[in-house]
Amino acid sequence: MAKIVNSWNDFDPLKHVIVGRADNSVIPNEEPATSEKVPVDSEMRGMWGPRPLETVEKANAQLDNLAKVLEDHGVKVDRPTPLQWNQPVITPDFRTDSMMTCMPPRDVLLTIGSEIIAAPMSFRCRYWEYLAYWPLLSKYFDEDPEFLWSQAPRPRLTDKSYKHNYYDEKVSLEERLERTANKDFVTTEEEIMFDAADVLRLGKDLFVQHGLTTNRKAMEWMKRKYPDLRVHAVNFPGDPYPIHIDATFVPLRPGLIINNPHRRLPEEQRKIFEANDWEIVDAAMPAHETPPPLCYSSVWLSMNCLVLDHKNVIVEASEHNQLEQMDKLGMNPIPVPFRDAYAFGGALHCATADVYREGGCEDYFP
């Protein structure tokens, strides 16, 4: 019996990873948490239904290629088992007409040491998404005696979990930014809710973005669950749609992190990095002015890279500014085309979930 699951950060040598699949993906219909998260000017607003087959095939081709590149770099790759995502989700508390996808795994699975936690996500359409990963986690459980297979408390996602009348398309960008600064989000503190992609893991420290998909109660749960770790709430006032930290604040190696220049970490929250000689560098500007069609995310997927070790990093092939910056920062960028997969839930970091990285639980902020 071997150790299969181990990962404490996003930059130690990657040896085993899960890469998502786009099969059967659906654009879900509106529900309380999703309306706020689709930018008002997005062509996605009001659209729902199965994603066009041609786009699914193109995304899968790039996901398969990413898996191959990873294998060529000595990384073992596992893939989830997609469900028929166009089925409704029905619980005693709610009904919604479809699920979504098993791209991106990063939102669902949080790996901390030898534990993988299925996150208690706030979208009703994502309620059963973890099932796509259950065959893999079951296998790891059988093969790795130290693997802790966990699930955070399942939210009920009743109407009490969301602020009513929070979404209003007439709300200006300035007001949205004010809401972020005031930590006023669509989700309430009724129950524990988080997306795994809001958690930045740096060994003994977890930096957790308080935003549209993760609430304070989730951070309180993490504190109690991991008494030996330190949980820090972070909040990026420049982001009108704060969802997932990995296009905002991305570590490249110990002591170096890139920060979205439109979503700078406030002075007060930078102190812990500065006091421990970490360099926070503004990320390069994205190469594109708009995201690809039917995409939920911003152009800042440019910085959503997958670090293979303290030197090598996979960056989207058309993101020439980001590729160049990686080189200047002493990294070796590996370009991989991935824009056809963006619409399915994100870029290279989003599309993956850590199973094994070498290294242990370091204290970077003693």
243 binds ligand NVA (CB under 6 A): yes
51 binds ligand NVA (CB under 6 A): no
**Which is it for strands 95-96 and 89-90: parallel, antiparallel or unpaired?**
antiparallel
Establish how many alpha carbons lie within 13 A of residue 43's alpha carbon, considering only the half-sphere containing its beta carbon.
7
- C-alpha dihedral (37, 202, 350, 256), degrees to nearest 10: 100
Helix (H) or strand (E) holding 256: strand 256-259
Given phi > 0 = left and psi -120 to 50 = alpha, else beta, which region is 292?
beta
* Nearest to ligand NVA of 231, 299 (CB atom): 299
Beta carbon of residue 158, minimum distance to ligand NVA (angstroms, whole number): 25
Beta carbon of residue 244, minimum distance to ligand NVA (angstroms, whole number): 4
244 binds ligand NVA (CB under 6 A): yes
247 binds ligand NVA (CB under 6 A): yes
Of the residues 102, 125, 295, 350, only one is catalytic, namely 350
**What's the CA gap between 261 and 249, in Å, rounded?**
10
Beta carbon of residue 110, minimum distance to ligand NVA (angstroms, whole number): 15
Of the residues 107, 144, 198, 244, only one is catalytic, namely 244
* Nearest to ligand NVA of 60, 302 (CB atom): 302
Order the strands of the 205-209 sheet from edge to edge: 199-202, 205-209, 230-234
Residues 307-366 that bind ligand NVA (CB under 6 A): 346, 350
304 binds ligand NVA (CB under 6 A): yes
298 binds ligand NVA (CB under 6 A): yes
User: Is 244 annotated in the active site?
Assistant: yes
Choice from 198, 246, 316, 354 touching ligand NVA (CB under 6 A):
246
Of the residues 10, 97, 107, 195, only one is catalytic, namely 195
Q: Quote helix, strand, coil % in the chain, to nearest 5.
A: 25, 20, 50
Beta carbon of residue 38, minimum distance to ligand NVA (angstroms, whole number): 11
| Total of chain residues touching ligand NVA, rule CB under 6 A | 11
Q: Which stretch binds ligand NVA (CB under 6 A): 121-129, 165-173, 241-249, 352-360?
A: 241-249
- Rg of the chain over Cα atoms, rounded to whole angstroms, equals 19
Report how far apart, in Å, the C-alpha atoms of 210 and of each of 109, 164, 178 are. 18, 19, 14
Q: Which of 49, 6, 66 is nearest to 342 (CA)?
A: 66
**What's the CA gap between 313 and 334, in Å, rounded?**
6
Beta carbon of residue 246, minimum distance to ligand NVA (angstroms, whole number): 5
DSSP-assigned letters across all residues of 193-216: ---GGGEEEETTEEEEE-SSS--H
Beta carbon of residue 138, minimum distance to ligand NVA (angstroms, whole number): 28
The footprint of ligand NVA (CB under 6 A) covers 241, 243-244, 246-247, 297-298, 300, 304, 346, 350
Residues labelled catalytic: 195, 244, 350
